[in-house]
Amino acid sequence: MEDLLGKAPRLGRNWISRWLRDNPDYRRKKQKKQEFNCVAANTVGNYEAYFKRLKRVIDDYAIQQGDTYNMDKTGFRLGVGGSQWVITTGINAI
């Protein structure tokens, strides 16, 4: 629903409530704030070291891509650290 100028209309105040009502597989959940030590450890250098080590283990043990699983289903977040509401499909997704 774009207007004549090609701009999408502004979202209404209750759009997320209606969307959640229409999409019952999703729900709102309060994201937990990260502890200071965890935030301080999130550096590019630490991530580079982790993934270099991970690659070495994968290569050393010939782990195939199909044998890699995300057991906790939480994924990861970039650029956020405070308490906020998120939309998720899993009960313990955050």
Give per-residue pLDDT as tens, 11-55.
899 998 999 999 998 888 877 776 667 767 778 898 899 999 999
Question: Which amino acid is residue 49, in one-letter code?
Answer: A
Question: How far is Cα 31 from Cα 77, in angstroms, rounded to an integer?
Answer: 11
Residue listed under structure tokens 């990861």: 76
Q: Is 26 exposed, middle or buried (0-12, 13-18, 19+ CB in 10 A)?
A: middle
> What residues have CB less than 8 Å from 25, skipping those under 6 apart?
89
pLDDT higher than threshold 60 for residue 94? no
Structure tokens given for 41 = 């450890």
pLDDT higher than threshold 60 for residue 74? no
Q: Could you tell me the pTM of the whole model?
A: 0.40
**pLDDT for the residue 81:** 58
**pLDDT for the residue 66:** 82
